[in-house]
Copies of this chain bind each other. A is one copy, B any other.
Amino acid sequence: MLLGRVARMYYEHGLTHQEIADTLGVSRIRVTRLLAEARETGVVEIIVHVEESLFADDERDLAAAFGLRQVWISPSVADEQKAARAFASVGAEALAAKLEPDAIVALGLSTAVALVAEEFPEQPLAASFVPVAGSVSGLVNGANPHELALAFARRTNGRAFHLPAPLLAASPEAAAASLADPGVREVLELAARADTLVAGIGGTARGQGLLLSSLGDAERERLLADGAVGDLAGRFFDADGEAVHGALDARVVGLGLDELRAIPNRLGIARGETKLAALRTALSSGLVNLLVTDSDTARALLAG
């Protein structure tokens, strides 16, 4: 149990890596790595005894300003990688707080939610994770709803459902055919009965989000012309938070905006300047009633 000895020498007796290496007859670098391992595996547990959250003020203000049930804010830092991880871990905390055992969780496709899945603590919850829309083809590094469901299910010892359909069908007819499939119907009906929705909120800037980047410029222009300001789980909405019905919308295989809105807990996960407009609308129109964002975005929302 070298790991444990090293961990105790370091954390309980305050020896340096070098001193530990000397007494144990191993290299310093090995001690460094053992300590990292000890932290990762939970042999070393670090607890911060603070009830209040990091940005309690802003969280309260934001909830009040937009009539949200609860808000979680992660610290913004220059280092994008760190900011992303912090954001994801706050997202995981938020979801964990809202999740009861045996809950049904509806998942929108989103890279943000994918990161949350990676940070989600391992705990037996026996929840069901259900995609609200089909999958994107090609390489999308784990952001497909189905993969999200799998990742969450693995961590919570829960069940993952698969929606065997594309997010965007080739034509409205193809979408209708997909929706008529009993397997697809069944899963979407389950998603519609979810207790909690977890979804990213997308903006309309070029290349934003998985859905938009899979479209051509022409289709994007069309969306903007129809008044789209952002999307929630693959469904675009306008400045009033109402669905943008059109050629694109008819090709999406997934729950509609009204069905999403009928889910009691709707956790929106988004940050960044490019998402501001979409966020404002989604928040003020009640598309989501729970929010995870970062401190910069929070301040921008409060300032606006």
Chain A interface mostly helix, strand, loop or mixed? mixed
Contact at A86–B14, with CB atoms within 8 Å?
yes
Looking at the assembled complex, report how far the CB atom of A235 sits from the nearest CB atom of chain B, in whole angstroms. 32
Let me know if A75 and B295 touch, CB within 8 A. Answer: no
A46-60 CB contacts (< 8 Å) to partner B: 46-50, 52, 54
Total identical chains: 2
Q: Mark A286-299, 1 if CB is under 8 A from B, else 0.
A: 00000000010000
Residues of B within 8 A of A48 (CB): 4, 7-8, 11-12, 38, 43-45
Interface residues on A, range: 35 or more
Contact A11 B46 (CB under 8 A): yes
**Restricting to A66-82, which residues have a CB under 8 Å from any CB of B?**
74-79, 82
List chain B residues, Cβ under 8 A from A89.
12-13
Closest to A51 in B: B4
Question: Do A74 and B44 touch (CB < 8 A)?
Answer: no
Please give me the residue from chain B that is nearest to A53 by CB atom: B8
A245 at the interface (CB under 8 A from B): no
Determine how close the nearest CB of chain B comes to the CB of A138; give it in whole angstroms: 32
**Given A42-B49, A50-B43, A89-B13, A77 and B19 touching (CB < 8 A)?**
yes
| Nearest 3 A/B pairs, CB to CB | A4-B50, A13-B86, A45-B47
